[in-house]
Copies of this chain bind each other. A is one copy, B any other.
Amino acid sequence: MEDTHVTAPTQFVEVDEMKFAYRRFGRQTGIPLLFLQHFRGGMDHWDPAVTDGFGGDRPVLLFDNAGVAGSSGETPSTIEAMAEHAAAFVGALGLSEVDVLGFSIGGYVSQTLALRYPSLVRRLILVGTGPRGGDPSHDPKSAEYAASTDPTTGESGLEAFLYLFFRPSEPSQAAGRAFWERRHRRTKDVDPPSSPQTMAAQSAAAAEWRQIRGERFSEIKAISQPTLVVNGHHDVLIPTSSSYILSQHIPRAQLIIYPDSGHGALFQFPELFVTHGRMFLEGSL
């Protein structure tokens, strides 16, 4: 039987004295889909409905970047260094081509990886993310919630997730609670929480990413990969307008925005998102 999100064993691969924690599952052949996670998140913060959904017809690869959760080393404080670590991890597995799904800060890393390693990245899915120099969130509560930590788990709590990733409507909140249940189905061989060092370094990297460098939004015009940009209608962390901007500047970008949803739209509508994502990965656009 093939491994799934819940059953895939955590494995390790060593590069430059860093041990990267990873899990590989889904179909055994095909171009793997590499998942790059959000702020503070590790392998256990993905939605099994999404990862196993994509795993139905391709290998799925989760990993913790340097210093994050189960990986050793120090989390660097620039997106560029994170992209270099991701490339080193992919190289250590002996893979010459991957598709990449980057979520939030993982979307920043994905854009940088696609630009620096154009032949390594075949297709790109960018979810709940934005370009370098994008507009900051003006949501009054999001920064506080994003930094909050549940004292018993050392992780973000349900309340923070429901606020940051979902909308106040009852359907969106219910979808958020259903996601939370799925997210906790894996109870053995789980990641440790990310450290304060990771949190500080990722915050610094995200702040640096907000700085404009040269002509605004010019960098992403060089992303040559077919790209699917996805977000919810109202993202309190990275404004939804950032997704529109990504799609207007990445030459081969397709944009999908879902109603009554936010940063976590991929977790609110996992089946629809996976269907759209598979159509994109297998399509000709």
| Interface mask (A258-277 → B, CB under 8 Å = 1, otherwise 0) | 11100000000100100110
Contacts of A253 in B (CB 8 A): 233, 259
Among A226, A258, A275, A285: residue with most chain B CB under 10 A: A285
A283: Cβ under 8 A from any B Cβ: yes
Instruction: Take A275-B279, A279-B275 as given contacts and tell me if A255 and B256 are in contact as well, using a CB distance cutoff of 8 Å.
Output: yes
Contacts of A141 in B (CB 8 A): none
Contact in complex: A233, B259 (CB < 8 Å) = no
Contact in complex: B259, A251 (CB < 8 Å) = yes
**DSSP class of A's interface residues: helix, strand, loop or mixed?**
mixed
Nearest-CB distance from A51 to chain B (Å)? 21
Contact in complex: A233, B247 (CB < 8 Å) = yes
A252: Cβ under 8 A from any B Cβ: yes
Contact in complex: A256, B256 (CB < 8 Å) = yes
A142: Cβ under 8 A from any B Cβ: no
Kindly identify which residue among B252, B256, B258, B260 contacts A260, using a CB–CB cutoff of 8 Å.
B252
Task: Output the nearest chain B residue to A255 by Cβ-Cβ distance.
Answer: B257
A244: Cβ under 8 A from any B Cβ: yes
Contact in complex: B254, A256 (CB < 8 Å) = yes
Contact in complex: A272, B257 (CB < 8 Å) = no
Contacts of A285 in B (CB 8 A): 258-259, 269, 272
Contact in complex: B269, A248 (CB < 8 Å) = no
Contact in complex: B255, A251 (CB < 8 Å) = no
Q: How far is the CA of A254 from the CA of B259 in the complex (A)?
A: 5
Task: Output the nearest chain B residue to A244 by Cβ-Cβ distance.
Answer: B244
Interface pairs (21), CB distance under 8 Å: A226-B259, A233-B253, A240-B248, A241-B244, A244-B244, A251-B259, A251-B260, A252-B260, A254-B256, A254-B257, A254-B258, A254-B259, A255-B255, A255-B256, A256-B256, A258-B285, A259-B285, A272-B283, A272-B285, A275-B279, A276-B276
Extra A-B contacts (5), CB below 8 Å, given A233-B248, A244-B244, A251-B259: A240-B248, A241-B244, A252-B259, A256-B256, A272-B283
